[in-house]
Amino acid sequence: MPVTQERSGTAPETPDGAPGRGARALARIRAGLPRTGLAALAGLLLALAFPPFDLWPLSLLGVGALALLTRGRTARQAAWTGFAFGLPFFLMLLSWLRVVGWDATIGLSVVEALFLAALGSGLAVTSRLPGWPLWGACLWITQEWARDRMPLGGFPWGRLAFANTATPYTPLAALGGAPLVTFAVALSGSLLAWAALRVAGRGTGRRPVAAAVAALGAVAAMLAGFLVPVPTAPADTVKVAVIQGNVPNPGMDFLGRPMMVLNNHAAATEKLAEDIRAGRAEKPDLVIWPENSSDLDPFSDPLAYARIDEAVRAIGVPTLVGTLVDGPDEQHVQNEGIVWDPRTGPGASYTKQHPVPFGEYVPFRDQLSKVITRLQRVARDFYPGDHNGVMQLGPARIGDVICFEVAYDEIVRDTVDKGARVLVVQTNNATYAKTGQPEQQLAMSRLRAVEHGRAVLIAATSGISAVIAPDGSVVRRTEELTAAELSATVPLRDGTTVADRVGAAPEWTLAVAGLLACAGGVLLARRRRPAAGATDTAPAGTPTGTPDAGE
């Protein structure tokens, strides 16, 4: 009887002695683990570029690392690398969602990371084209364009521009908005990756001159912002008071008992009125209350109406009040900012246009609520508004946006296009107090100030409220979870920036350029493929990828 000899620790073989398919797959996975680990590390470094950490140079490192890790790979390999980069990035960036639940954090992070998986594939395809750093920067815009709009209206958190709201890149927002800032950051990072390849001598030996030129290009893209004039000269000024009344409890149950949040804001306004009468404070021209500053609908609750009216009459100037009011039917409510006059009461109002899915309305409610019982806490869906937030508040024509809407380019731009002279961001960050989310939203507001050349007033229930100058500098701000009042004289501006005049054109141009570059990369790869029927004589295990172009 023949004796079968076992081979310990070796891969099973096929009859011709070659390793089996399963063993080859396992070997490929093991070989890719270091690259996957580096991609995950690069994603975490990119997250550190954003508030509350604000290590913005890491945004260049993150972009450059992803460019190098996907370069010369197949589209499928690079998709995994992009996902491995994106998932830890979003898990860290969106960790403030943990107050809702880690399942929400993970679910949203996975969805957002899929867009970076597509970006990884695109970077791999275009890495074989001449001038690939330029096409890679365009693809960052393509990815952000898609992610800002899909699914369910998109989620713009994590744009490279939002990590660079107080950096040399920031003034570029006055030329092309957030997309141009993202493009410049991505171009700098990609050029640094190109320089690193030349220093390493990939393919054709070291080329220090080419590396120096690439590095200078990266620096030039960064310093270009210093050449951009940011218009800040006021046509007029207005005295404002921003009220931060605070909330009883941070987290999901921030409201406490009915009327508590409203009483906090009314009492703070009345205290300011008392200080004015005593000569301790100067009377403002207008007052701003935050989103949800009234926790009851004043149109259906007489006590809430009377309390707001009492406080506004005490201060004696028009006040912007944030509250939820009944919608067009019993299943809906509306998130509104209401102009409240001390003599005539409530007048013009703005209804939030972009409710947050799963937070302010539940998509596919009948099906999902049976599976995720926590969604039943969103008792009624928010009904979206159908017009912008331009309203006359005393002597100022304001452009009101509510909470997360500040992240969406077109919503803020529309208020300026329709004549807003100062921007107001009413927000309720009480759910996410001390999580880093308020700092991230503050950074977005700073970029909007530069983009539109407008002062920005942030009114938050529990922090961070702030007064931001048209150049993006923070004039005054509050701390979180404290009752506070901010008084300031802010500029009113009628002029527009280049970004206002060109609108979304830079974003569309750069996004389409990225898609066309991908198409060019696919065509180039097909031309380089061996003719059909050609015999592959390379030994088993020999890499068959296309050599890096331009090395």
Q: Which of 144, 352, 480, 507 is catalytic?
A: 352
Query: Distance (Å, rounded) from C-alpha 278 to C-alpha 404?
Result: 38
End-to-end, the C-alpha distance of the chain in Å comes to 60
Work out the number of other CB atoms within 10 angstroms of the CB of residue 501.
9
Q: What is the 3-state secondary structure (H, E, C) of 496-547?
A: CCHHHHHCCHHHHHHHHHHHHHHHHHHHHHHHHCCCCCCCCCCCCCCCCCCC
> Hey, which bits of 245-395 come out as E strands?
286-288, 319-326, 332-341, 345-351, 381-382, 390-393
Q: Choose, from 291, 336, 360, 480, the residue flagged as catalytic.
A: 291
518 is catalytic: no
Contacts of 206 (CB under 8 A, 6+ apart): 198, 199, 200
Task: Name residue, tokens 């992070």.
Answer: 109
Alpha carbons 405 and 426: distance in angstroms, whole number: 10
Token representation of residue 420: 């807003």
Q: Which residue has the tokens 């050609």?
A: 534
Active site residue 271: no
Residue among 446, 454, 540 nearest 170 (CA): 446
Amino acid symbol at 287: V
Residue 403 annotated among the catalytic residues of the structure: yes
Active-site residue among 112, 360, 403, 451? 403
Closest CA to 63 of 47, 83, 46: 46
> Where in the sequence numbering do the catalytic residues fall?
291, 352, 403
